[in-house]
Structure 1
Amino acid sequence: MNQGPHVVVIGAGFAGIQAARELSRQGCLVTLVDRHPYNTFQPLLYQVATGGLNPGDVTYSLRNFSGKHRGVRFTCGAVSGIDPEGRTVSLDDGRTIAYDYLVLGFGVTANFFGLPGVAENALPMYTRAQAIACRDAVFGRLEHYAALPEEERATKDLHIVVVGGGATGVEMAGSLAEMRSTGVPNMYPELDRKRVKVHLVEAGPVLLGPFGHDLQEYTYDEMVKRDVDVRLSTSVARIDASHVYLKGGEEIDSDVVIWGAGVGAYDWVRSLGFELGRGGRIVVDQMLRVKGQDRIFAAGDCSIIEDQFLPQLAQPAMQMGVHIAGQIVSHAKGGQLERFEYWDKGTMATIGRNAAVAEVAIPGRHKPVAFTGFVAWLLWVGVHLFMLLGGRNRVGAMINLGFRYIAWGSNTWNIVGDLATPKRAKRSAAEAEAEND
C-alpha cells in the first residue's frame, strides 16, 4: 500500500498522466482530477476529424488508468479554486480535496486572438468533441454540396479553409487534400473533386516553423503537390459565415473553417491568483514550482518557465511530469530540488500517405537527424502508436490506420457522422469550447 504524501494532480493530459504514473511508482497517494472521464491523445485528433480513426481510438478511460496504478484514484470534476494556505482544491460541485502537494497540468485551449467572428465561425480541434464537430461539419458540407442541382455544382466550389501552418494545420490540410483526391471520387462520384478546394493559411513565412529549413521546404512542396492552396505570410483579419477575410483586403470563400492557429490559457486560470506569463500561462521557476509556492508545481502547456522557452508539445510536458514527481518525493524526504533540464528528443509531423517530416535526436550528435518521406512517415506511425494509452487503443488505431493504408483508394475515406449544418457544427464546437473554459 502506498504510504507517501498525498498528491493531487489536476489535468490528465501528457504532463498529468506522467506525473501520476511516476508518483504511483514511487509510493505516493495520488488523486487525479479531470473534467472528463477520459484522457485524449491530441496528436491524432485530426485523424478523428477526417474519419481515419474512431473517437474511442484516441481516448482512454481514466478509471481504467487509476485501476492499473496502485495508489491512484480518479475524480471527475472541474476546479473552481485553490487554497494554498489550507492546501485544498475546490471543485465546482462543492467538493473539497486536501493535498500535501499539488500538480497543475490542465493544458490550454484554442486561442482566437480576439479576432472578430473567429469564435463564432471557425472550428477549433483541441478536444474530442471539437474533432467530432469538425468531422460532422466536413461530412455535412459534402452531403449538402452533393445534393445541389448539377447545374449549380458546375459553377460552385466547396471551400475548406485551415488556419495555422503548425503541425495541426499541416496534418489536417494534408489529410483533407487526400480525402478530396482519393475519397471524394469513391464516395461522391457525382462530384467533380477539382471543385473541392483546400486552403492553408499561415501568418508566418514558412510551414512548420520549429523544423529545419529543408523540412519546411519539403512540407511546402508536398502541400502544393496535393493541390493545397498554401498562403504564407498571410494573417486572418476576421471570419464570417461564408468568408475568411485576410489582412490586406483579400478574402477566401469558406464553407468550413478549421482553426489551428495557436493555443492559449483558459480564462478561469486568472482566478487562481498565481502569477501569469505570456499567453496567460502560470509562471514556474526552474524547479517547476509555481512562483511563490513551495508545494504547488505546474507542467506542460499551462506553465511557462522563467527564462527558458519550451515548445508546447507532448515531449516537454511528459518530461516535466516525471521531473515533478521526483521533486515531490525528494522534498517530502527533506532532499534538495533539482533544476529541470529538457532533453529534446525531436519532433515530427505527417503530411499524408508516405509523406512526413521528422527530426530525431541521436546521442552523441550535436544536431538532430532529419528524415522525410516514407521513413519519416513510418517513424511517425510507430511513435504515435507507442504513445497511445492502453493496448486496445494501440491495436485499434493500428488496425484502422493499417486498413486505410492497404485498401488505399477504395472505401477508406468514408467519413461517418451526423449531417451537421455549418451553424450546428459551429455551435457544437462553441459548446465544446465552453465546456473547457
Structure 2
Amino acid sequence: MTTPPSGIPHVVIVGGGFAGLWATRALARDGVRITLVDRRNHHLFQPLLYQVATAGLSAPDIAAPLRHILRGQRNVEVRLGEVIDIDAAARTVTLTDGDSLRYDFLLLASGATHAYFGHDAWAPHAPGLKTLDDALAIRRRLLLAFERAEAAASAEERAAWLDFAIVGGGPTGVELAGTLAEIARHTLRNEFRRIDPAEAKVRLIEAGPRVLASFPESLSARARAQLERLGVEVLTGTPVADIDADGYTLGDARVRSHTVLWAAGVAASPLGALLDAPRDRAGRVLVQPDLSVPGRAELFVAGDLASVQQDGKPVPGVAPAAKQMGAHVARVIRARLRNEPAPTFRYRDFGNLATIGRMAAVVHLGRLKLSGLPAWWFWLFIHIFFLIGFRNRLIVLIDWAWAYWSYQRHARIILGEQRPPLP
C-alpha cells in the first residue's frame, strides 16, 4: 500500500455495533488513526434488547456510550453522524452535516433493519425490534395495552387489547413471546381490578414449519413445548396475510388485536446500495473471502451488511459472526499495511442459544444440546459475560436475580406519549 501524505493511514469505520467496535479495538496498537462514525452515541448489546422491550432491563443496562468504551484508545475519534454518500473512487464518505471524510481504508458495518417482505404498510402496526428506540416504543405499546384493557367499555374491546401477536418464530420472536406470557401470568398478577392479565392471549406466528429453524429439530420441538407450557399459542406453517391498526389476517381468519410485533425478517442497511457492488436479495453486499468489496481492496463490509458464504452455507447474522468479521478486517488492514497477503475469513460457529422464559431455554453447541433449566443457566451466564463493562454485568445480574425470585420487572415505566395506536 502507498503511504498517505500524513504518514498515518486513516481508517473510517461506519457503525459502532459488534463488527465496527471489534475492528476498532483490534486496531488499537496499530499505526493508524481511526474515525468511528455512528448515528447513535452508544454501543448496544442487541441480544438482550427484548429485555428492555419487556421491561426486564433498563436501556443503560445493555448499552454504553461509545466515547466511554473507547476513552483509553488514543488513535480513535468518535463522530456522531450518519453517512449519506460514499465515493469509492475518491475514497471519501459524506455525512449529513456536509462534512467529508477521506479514508485509506473504509469498513461499513451499519447493520440491518426490518424487512416486511414488500408489505411496508404493516410497519406502523407491527413494529420491529432493532434499536433502543424500538424497544422503548414496544415497551410502551405492551404496557399501554393492559391499561387500555382495564379501561375498555366492552368485553370485545377488552379482548382486542389483551390479544398479543408476535410474527416470526426466530430467537427474537420466541424470546418476546415467552417473556410476554410470563408478564401476563405472573408479573401483573393482582395489579388490576377490572381485568385478569392472565387471560391475555399470546400468539407466536411462524410461516415456516417450526420455530427456531436454525436449531436442530429436536431442540425446536422442545422450545415449542416450553412456550406452550408458558401459555403461548404457537402457530407454524401459517403466514400472516394482512396487518392493520385493528388486527391481522391468518388465511381467511380475521383476528382483532391492537398489539402485533414483528420479528419475521431483516434487510441490510441501505448503505450497501451506495456501493457499486453486487448484493443479495436482502440487500447484503457480496464480499470477497477477505471481506473486501470486489475490485476495492481498501473497502470492507462486515456484520449484517455482509453476505458471506462458507462451506456452501451463509454465515449467520449473529453477534459472534459480526465480532469475528470486525476482528478479521483489522487483520486484513494490518496485512495490507505490511504488503502481505490478506487472510481469508473463516467463521467459527460457537453454537446457538435462545431463551424462552423463566428457567426455560435451548442451547446448541456442536454435539451438545441442552434445554430447560440447565440451558437457561448457561444462556444467563454467557450473556452476562459478554456485556460491555463491569457495571452492566453487575446490574443485570442483580436485576435478573430479583426477577427470578419475585417475578417482578423493575423497568415498567411508560415513557413518551401515552396514547396507543388508534384501532
Normalising by structure 2, what TM-score? 0.93
Question: Is 1:416 equivalent to 2:413 in the alignment?
Answer: yes
1:429 corresponds in structure 2 to none
2:215 corresponds in structure 1 to 211
- In 2, the alpha carbon distance for the partners of 1:219 and 1:398 equals 24
1:379 corresponds in structure 2 to 378
The letter of the residue matching 2:397 is M
Question: Is 1:325 equivalent to 2:326 in the alignment?
Answer: no
The letter of the residue matching 1:389 is I
1:31 corresponds in structure 2 to 35
Equivalent residue runs for 1:308-347 within 5 Å: 308-347=313-352
**8 Å contact 2:146–2:197 — kept in the other structure?**
no
1:357 corresponds in structure 2 to 362
Equivalent residue runs for 1:183-194 within 5 Å: 183-194=187-198
Equivalent residue runs for 1:209-288 within 5 Å: 209-246=213-250, 248-288=251-291
> How big is each residue's C-alpha offset from its partner over 1:272-315, in whole Å with a ceiling of 9 and x where there is no partner?
33321230111101111112211001111101025651111111
| Uncovered stretches (5+) of structure 1, i.e. residues with no partner | 361-366, 427-437
2:23 corresponds in structure 1 to 19
Following TM superposition, by how much is the alpha carbon of 1:156 offset from its aligned partner in structure 2, in angstroms? 6.4
Following TM superposition, by how much is the alpha carbon of 1:157 offset from its aligned partner in structure 2, in angstroms? 6.2
- In 2, the alpha carbon distance for the partners of 1:82 and 1:233 equals 42
- In 2, the alpha carbon distance for the partners of 1:384 and 1:258 equals 24
- In 2, the alpha carbon distance for the partners of 1:8 and 1:154 equals 52
- In 2, the alpha carbon distance for the partners of 1:108 and 1:171 equals 19
Change (3 A) 1:192 1:122: same
Equivalent residue runs for 1:74-89 within 5 Å: 74-89=78-93
1:304 corresponds in structure 2 to 307
Following TM superposition, by how much is the alpha carbon of 1:339 offset from its aligned partner in structure 2, in angstroms? 1.1
- In 2, the alpha carbon distance for the partners of 1:294 and 1:137 equals 46
Over aligned residues, Cα RMSD in angstroms? Answer: 2.0
- In 2, the alpha carbon distance for the partners of 1:136 and 1:108 equals 23
| Aligned-pair identity (%) | 37
Following TM superposition, by how much is the alpha carbon of 1:103 offset from its aligned partner in structure 2, in angstroms? 0.7
Following TM superposition, by how much is the alpha carbon of 1:422 offset from its aligned partner in structure 2, in angstroms? 2.6
Following TM superposition, by how much is the alpha carbon of 1:89 offset from its aligned partner in structure 2, in angstroms? 1.2
> How big is each residue's C-alpha offset from its partner over 1:122-172, in whole Å with a ceiling of 9 and x where there is no partner?
111111000000000011111111123587788766111101000000000
**8 Å contact 1:141–1:421 — kept in the other structure?**
no
Shifted more, 94-103 versus 116-125: the winner is: 116-125
> How big is each residue's C-alpha offset from its partner over 1:203-226, in whole Å with a ceiling of 9 and x where there is no partner?
111110010111101100011111
The letter of the residue matching 2:368 is V
SS at match of 1:358: strand
Equivalent residue runs for 1:126-137 within 5 Å: 126-137=130-141
Aligned residues: 414
**8 Å contact 1:81–1:272 — kept in the other structure?**
no
- In 2, the alpha carbon distance for the partners of 1:393 and 1:155 equals 38
Following TM superposition, by how much is the alpha carbon of 1:66 offset from its aligned partner in structure 2, in angstroms? 2.3
> How big is each residue's C-alpha offset from its partner over 1:15-34, in whole Å with a ceiling of 9 and x where there is no partner?
11111110113343211110
> How big is each residue's C-alpha offset from its partner over 1:14-62, in whole Å with a ceiling of 9 and x where there is no partner?
1111111101133432111100011111111111011100011111101
1:108 corresponds in structure 2 to 112
- In 1, the alpha carbon distance for the partners of 2:201 and 2:148 equals 15
1:348 corresponds in structure 2 to 353
Shifted more, 351-360 versus 156-165: the winner is: 156-165
- In 1, the alpha carbon distance for the partners of 2:305 and 2:158 equals 48
Following TM superposition, by how much is the alpha carbon of 1:420 offset from its aligned partner in structure 2, in angstroms? 3.1
SS at match of 2:421: helix
The letter of the residue matching 1:195 is E
- In 2, the alpha carbon distance for the partners of 1:71 and 1:91 equals 21
2:3 corresponds in structure 1 to none
Change (3 A) 1:324 1:154: closer
Change (3 A) 1:25 1:417: farther
